[in-house]
Amino acid sequence: METIVKFDYKKMKEDIKTKAEEQKFLKNQRKAVKIIGERVIPAKDAAYKHMTNREDLRIMYAAYGVARGKSYSQIENHYPEEGHPLKDNPFPLRIERVLAKYKMLVEVPTVE
């Protein structure tokens, strides 16, 4: 038996979708009460949570692209590959943490 590393793409996509849905909710919560109606959380908290979710989503999108074998310039195509911001600290470490979260070890029978 041989062990290979796979990524749970389905779970990764579901988590990205739930974060994106939360972003829409938080964006509306930052706005004036007369526009959105009833405010569930304070605007200051919504703005902070929106900012942190934005950073997390960027890392999750990058991790998904790396897991699919894309280069950084293919993931965020408005930057050239050399000198790409995702290559600078702390992004590689955060991307590796996300990849480790969705990593699966699968045993495959070897053919002799």
What integer best gives the mean pLDDT of the chain?
Answer: 88
Give the predicted TM-score (pTM) of the model. 0.82
Under DSSP, the state recorded for 109 is: P
Domain boundaries, the chain: 2-108
CA pair distance 57, 49, nearest whole angstrom: 12
CA pair distance 22, 68, nearest whole angstrom: 25
Q: What pLDDT is stored for residue 50 in this prediction?
A: 93
- pLDDT digits over 49-86, tens only? 999 999 999 999 999 999 999 998 999 888 888 888 88
- Residue % of the chain over a pLDDT of 90: 46
